[in-house]
């Protein structure tokens, strides 16, 4: 294995250092921001959505950098309210044998987030949907988990977009 010439090694290490400094500069606006989520308001008939959304929001914010969840409003940089406006199953196609039997469906959730801090009052509705075959792979827990994860990611990226402004 041939050794890299010293000049190439210096250039490569310079680019690596530049990359580190640029990434630190770009992430300085979100480093260490604390978010407090108020109790979710659920306007649907599916009470287990609160549990799944709460768990997935915690999981996503722990998995991705830049934010931490806090237990008190006083220690937070942002206060977030979440309203679950709609959760429904929309038939996609029906069984060949029985036209009254649903074979595939799309599950859709619609939430409204409100994010507040000293300078900001932001509201937005987010929609997430998951399609599935009801006969083969339908497990309500899996559907709720997948759809909650999608909404949790959208909430996380809304926070990222706020800090870009």
- Are 153 and 60 in contact by the 8 Å Cβ rule? The answer is yes
The pLDDT, as a whole number, for residue 6 is 66
pTM, two decimals, is 0.74
Q: What is the DSSP string of 15-49?
A: HHHHHHHHHHHHTTTTTTEEEEEPPPEE-SS-THH
Tens digits of residue pLDDT in 97-116:
666 566 677 889 999 999 99
Tens digits of residue pLDDT in 36-64:
999 999 999 999 999 999 999 999 999 99
The pLDDT, as a whole number, for residue 50 is 94
- Measure the CA–CA gap between 110 and 87, rounded to whole angstroms: 7
Pairing of strands 78-94, 33-37: parallel
- Measure the CA–CA gap between 162 and 139, rounded to whole angstroms: 35
The pLDDT, as a whole number, for residue 1 is 45
Name all domains of the chain by residue range, CATH numbers in brackets. 31-164 (3.30.160.150)
Structure tokens of 83?
A: 């309203």
- Are 69 and 61 in contact by the 8 Å Cβ rule? The answer is yes
Q: Hey, which of 15-19, 80-84, 96-100, 105-109 has the most confident mean pLDDT?
A: 80-84
């Amino acid at each position: 294995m041939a050794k890299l010439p010293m000049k190439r090694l210096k250039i490569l290490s310079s680019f690596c250092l530049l990359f580190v400094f640029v990434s630190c500069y770009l992430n300085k606006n979100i480093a260490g921001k604390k978010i407090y989520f108020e109790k979710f308001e659920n306007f649907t008939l599916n009470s287990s959505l609160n549990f799944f959304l709460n768990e997935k929001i915690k999981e996503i914010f722990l998995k991705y950098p830049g934010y931490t969840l806090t237990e008190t409003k006083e220690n937070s940089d942002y206060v977030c309210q979440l309203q679950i406006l709609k959760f429904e199953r929309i038939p996609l196609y029906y069984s060949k044998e029985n036209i009254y039997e649903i074979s595939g469906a799309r599950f859709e959730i619609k939430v409204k987030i409100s994010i507040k801090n000293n300078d900001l009052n932001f509201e937005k509705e987010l929609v997430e949907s998951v399609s599935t075959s009801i006969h083969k792979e339908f497990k309500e827990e899996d559907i709720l988990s997948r759809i909650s994860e999608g909404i949790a990611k959208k909430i996380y990226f809304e926070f990222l977009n706020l800090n870009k402004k």
